[in-house]
A = this chain, B = another copy of it.
Amino acid sequence: MDNLELIREIATPSPSKIVLLVIDGLGGLPNPKTGKTELETAKTPNLDKLAADSICGLIDPVSPGVTPGSTPGHLALFGYDPVKYNIGRGVVAALGIDFELKPDDIAARGNFCTVDSSGLITDRRAGRIPTEKCTELCQLLDEIKIEGVKLFVRPVREHRFAVVFRGERLSPEVSDSDPQQTGVAPKAAKALNPAANTTADIANNFINQARTILAKHQPANMAILRGFSSLPTIPTMDDIYILKPAAIAAYPMYRGLAKLVGMQLLKTGPTITDEFDALKQNYADYDFFFLHIKGTDSAGEDGDFDRKVNILEEIDKALPALTGLKPDVIVVTGDHSTPALLKGHSWHAVPILIYSKWCRADRVGEFSETACTMGGLSRFPATHIMPLAMANALKLAKFGA
């Protein structure tokens, strides 16, 4: 019995409400000039006040040292073992663009790439063509016809696209055509077991037609595919926690992930204030809210320390709109760290606070990486957040006699 099964066994419904505020890429690294991280630099009096009334700590989204992608980072926050539920790259790409994947669909992530006159790859990203160009090329590939299967080719961003094959008895057990290196030809997709033979044939048919269509579109004169996958069998949050969960997220990918675990997607505008407004509008109708803020991660990825600081201050200003609703449990954390200094996701543990009437507040009076090191929750795997939130909401029965 894994921990999720244990929690499912003891989950009990109650009227109490939980709000999980995810500040994407929250954790950071100190600015060498000041010795302070983005969160430590930002003036966040509301978060600090909340931390003082909370139990604090640090989470490892996947495991110590492992830098998570957005998908494992979020699955862990929702309580799912992100290694056990490793969602394929194709599915993530399709979810990320709000594509309505059906259970039997096979999705793959595509790259437009450049090949030389001998067909050897010279650039796996075709010079990062603009998204507009990608969209044009996707429209061309979307016209490809293959008997017995319906296919969809949709742009993601720059050279990246998603392709979805819809048909009967398709299998995701197909190897990548992307060789992940230059100087070699794209590989043929191979069936990883006999039941995938048809799907591999379809994939290769698609790739060959794409080669012909793209030939004159230098630098994006070829396409390579990887991460063939289908929607995973994953228990919903309703099923495990007996919650009625809702998601407030401006970015499609996070809406996709929320939907994957059975959350209702709420309508929201793009700004932080819009998102907090959406929480208020829908507060009566659900007992669990996932509120996702993207800007911090984007700023971190751009290496923009000051912009990340500013967005954190903006979140702090908006926070009273959340605390004013008086949720029984408030969790504030991130899905991973995105230090501006590293310009990308990182493995660093992420600060967390859990507020409730029953949380047994520690002496941490500031929401920051350094202060949370002294928190009563200590350092723990992110998959324990949901059980702790459920316990604080008095939604878990006693285990064992």
Which residues from chain A sit less than 8 Å from chain B, CB to CB?
1, 3, 6-7, 10, 29-30, 37, 58, 62-73, 82-83, 86-89, 92-93, 109, 227, 341-342, 344-349, 358, 360-363, 369-370, 373-380, 384, 386-392, 396-401
In this complex, the member of A30, A346, A360, A378 whose beta carbon has the largest number of chain B beta carbons within 10 angstroms is A360
In the complex, the 8 A-B pairs of residues with the closest C-beta atoms, listed nearest first: A65-B387, A378-B379, A69-B400, A72-B400, A65-B391, A64-B384, A347-B391, A92-B401
Residues in chain B near residue A396, CB distance under 8 A: 65-67, 347
Given contacts A30-B360, A83-B1, A380-B379, contact A400 B58 (CB under 8 A): no
Find out whether the CB atom of A399 lies under 8 angstroms from the CB atom of B342. no
Contacts A/B (CB < 8 Å), 15 sampled: A1-B83, A6-B62, A6-B63, A6-B66, A65-B386, A65-B391, A66-B399, A67-B396, A71-B400, A72-B400, A86-B400, A109-B401, A342-B358, A346-B358, A346-B391
Which B-chain residue is minimally distant from A375 (CB atoms)?
Answer: B373
CA of A10 to CA of B347, assembled, Å? 13
For the complex formed, measure the closest distance between the CB of A87 and the CB atoms of chain B, giving whole angstroms: 7
Which B-chain residue is minimally distant from A63 (CB atoms)?
Answer: B3
Residues in chain B near residue A399, CB distance under 8 A: 62, 66-69, 72, 82
Given contacts A72-B399, A378-B58, contact A66 B363 (CB under 8 A): no
Which B-chain residue is minimally distant from A345 (CB atoms)?
Answer: B398
Residues in chain B near residue A342, CB distance under 8 A: 358
CA of A388 to CA of B65, assembled, Å? 4
Which B-chain residue is minimally distant from A362 (CB atoms)?
Answer: B373
In this complex, the member of A64, A89, A227, A379 whose beta carbon has the largest number of chain B beta carbons within 10 angstroms is A64
Find out whether the CB atom of A87 lies under 8 angstroms from the CB atom of B400. yes
Find out whether the CB atom of A69 lies under 8 angstroms from the CB atom of B401. yes
In this complex, the member of A71, A347, A387 whose beta carbon has the largest number of chain B beta carbons within 10 angstroms is A347
CA of A361 to CA of B92, assembled, Å? 34
Residues in chain B near residue A65, CB distance under 8 A: 7, 384, 386-392, 396
Residues in chain B near residue A227, CB distance under 8 A: 401
Given contacts A65-B387, A71-B401, A387-B65, contact A6 B373 (CB under 8 A): no
CA of A29 to CA of B394, assembled, Å? 15
Residues in chain B near residue A29, CB distance under 8 A: 358, 360
Residues in chain B near residue A398, CB distance under 8 A: 67-69, 344-345
CA of A401 to CA of B362, assembled, Å? 35
In this complex, the member of A6, A72, A92 whose beta carbon has the largest number of chain B beta carbons within 10 angstroms is A6
Residues in chain B near residue A363, CB distance under 8 A: 370, 373
Given pairs A58-B378, A87-B400, 5 additional interface contacts (CB within 8 A): A7-B65, A63-B384, A66-B387, A70-B401, A346-B391
Which B-chain residue is minimally distant from A348 (CB atoms)?
Answer: B360
For the complex formed, measure the closest distance between the CB of A310 and the CB atoms of chain B, giving whole angstroms: 22
Given contacts A370-B362, A373-B374, A375-B373, contact A387 B6 (CB under 8 A): no
Which B-chain residue is minimally distant from A32 (CB atoms)?
Answer: B357
For the complex formed, measure the closest distance between the CB of A196 and the CB atoms of chain B, giving whole angstroms: 21
Out of B1, B66, B346, B361, name the residue touching A10 (CB < 8 Å): B66
